[in-house]
Amino acid sequence: MLNSYFADMHIHIGRDIYNKPVKITASKNLTLTNILIEASRRKGIDMVGIIDCHSPAVQEEILQLIHKEEAFELQDGGIRFENVTLILGSEIEVYDEFCKGPIHVLCYFPTLHNIHVFSKWLAGKMKNITLSSQRYYGSAKELQYKVKELEGLFIPAHVFTPFKSLYGKGVTESLTEVFDADLIDGIELGLSSDTKMADQIEELHRYTFLTNSDSHSLAKIGREYQQIKMVEPSFQEFNYALHGVDGRKISTNFGMNPKLGKYYTTVCQQCMKSVDFLTVECPYCESKKIVNGVFDRIQQLRSTKESSPKRPPYTYQVPLEYLPGLGPKTFETLLDHFSTEMNIIHYVSGEKLMKLIPEKIAKMILDMRNGVLGIEAGGGGKYGRVKMYKK
Ligand SMILES: [Zn+2]
Ligand SMILES: [Zn+2]
């Protein structure tokens, strides 16, 4: 079996390129093809989920790649482009009569045909099918049944973020208020939580946890990702890994320290000071714009103190661009020598790094590999930060 790196992108390409072109650099638009090139050639990621694939323009771009023989559909599902397999996905906002607030969910499909059928069905239940993460007018369970009918995977997205998520605002205390628990294939943790935090909620023990990047730019591809034990990077193997079939599994989750996430602590959005969970009015500036932190929300939901299930290790990491002092020039130098970011993060020896870049930056990369970087916590929509190394 192989060790493959999987990163779900959440790149909102439907919104960003096809309606309002966004230049990433002088030569790079945020298109599906550019994402695949970046993932394959520079990131060194083996499998990437893109959640705009319900959009007809995105499907057209994939068909073009296949037509030009630059990509092809795999027997076991997924689209292979160079060294990366694209997993066809769609992020959808559910808000039915049982939801207390909007919930984002991820739906993945094995083939272009299946996601095309899904899009046609969705078009009747959405105002604008060409955009990402749009509100769907129908029930959560009906959506689950449709995804299963089309042999898809159903995964609640970034489940603790305070605004549009399952536990953020969607339910009072249990996912069964909204979903059929048997038709969930995995749980996406989101940037402000990790395995240990999420396992305090007992109803999550039966599910595999995913650490996905929720990236909205090329540089952030693989902001979070996982290493998966599988026979080859394909949709079917991904499905097997989520359900632990015959030795397939997620072998390590790589995620940012939750303190780096935007919503770890409860913060007043007006003055950005930390306040107590469930504060109504800020004691410092009297603002009512309080954003509850993920840490506090999990404390409120926690149902269990011990007996967590056996989980893969969770290693704290950030993409190289997050390391203070590691600018674009250093990054390009590293890529020139060691080809991909995954290679630099995981495999290149300290000795080789130190020959090429300043020692304190090399040390940061090695500390990150071991999950021991220093962090300043984020909150209220402001990201935390990696602390600068003195020497
Ligand atoms: Zn989302
Ligand atoms: Zn305030």
Residues written for the chain: 391
Q: Which distant-in-sequence residues (6+ apart) come within 8 Å of 123 by Cβ?
A: 129
Q: What is the pLDDT of residues 267-284, one digit of tens each?
A: 899 998 889 998 999 999
Output the furthest CA–CA distance in the chain (Å, rounded).
Answer: 62
Contact status, residue 95 vs residue 35, Cβ threshold 8 Å? no
User: Residues 337, 34, 61, CA angle at the centre, nearest 5°?
Assistant: 150
Cα 157 to middle of ligand 1, angstroms: 6
As a whole number of angstroms, the distance between CA 105 and CA 133 comes to: 9
Cα 133 to middle of ligand 1, angstroms: 6
H helix or E strand, kind and range, residue 211: none
Q: How confident is the model at residue 19 (pLDDT cuts 50, 70, 90)?
A: very low
Please report where in the chains the tokens 């993945």 appear, as a residue: 108
Cα 268 to middle of ligand 2, angstroms: 5
Please state, for a pLDDT cut of 70, what percent of the chain lies above it: 91
Cα 162 to middle of ligand 2, angstroms: 18
Q: How confident is the model at residue 13 (pLDDT cuts 50, 70, 90)?
A: very low
For residue 273, which ligand has an atom nearest its CA? 2
Q: What is the pLDDT of residues 354-380, one digit of tens each?
A: 999 999 999 999 998 887 888 877 677
Closest CA to 125 of 109, 137, 134, 143: 137
As a whole number of angstroms, the distance between CA 329 and CA 320 comes to: 12
Cα 286 to middle of ligand 2, angstroms: 6
Range scoring the smallest mean pLDDT among 6-10, 114-118, 186-190, 296-300? 6-10
For residue 291, which ligand has an atom nearest its CA? 2
As a whole number of angstroms, the distance between CA 281 and CA 286 comes to: 5
Cα 293 to middle of ligand 2, angstroms: 15
| 235 SS3 class | helix
Closest CA to 348 of 310, 322, 323, 320: 320
For 34, 38, 61, 221, the CA distances from 82, given in Å and listed in that order, are 12, 11, 16, 17
For residue 279, which ligand has an atom nearest its CA? 2
**Is a pLDDT exceeding 70 seen at residue 391?**
no
Cα 101 to middle of ligand 1, angstroms: 13
For residue 161, which ligand has an atom nearest its CA? 1
Q: Are strands 225-230 and 2-8 parallel, antiparallel or unpaired?
A: antiparallel
Q: What is the pLDDT of residues 83-125, one digit of tens each?
A: 899 999 999 999 999 999 999 999 999 999 999 999 999 999 9
Give the per-residue pLDDT at 2: 66
Give the per-residue pLDDT at 4: 67
User: Per DSSP, which regions of 215-313 are E strands?
Assistant: 225-230, 249-255, 267-268, 290-291
Q: How many CB atoms lie within 10 A of CB 210?
A: 26
Give the per-residue pLDDT at 21: 32
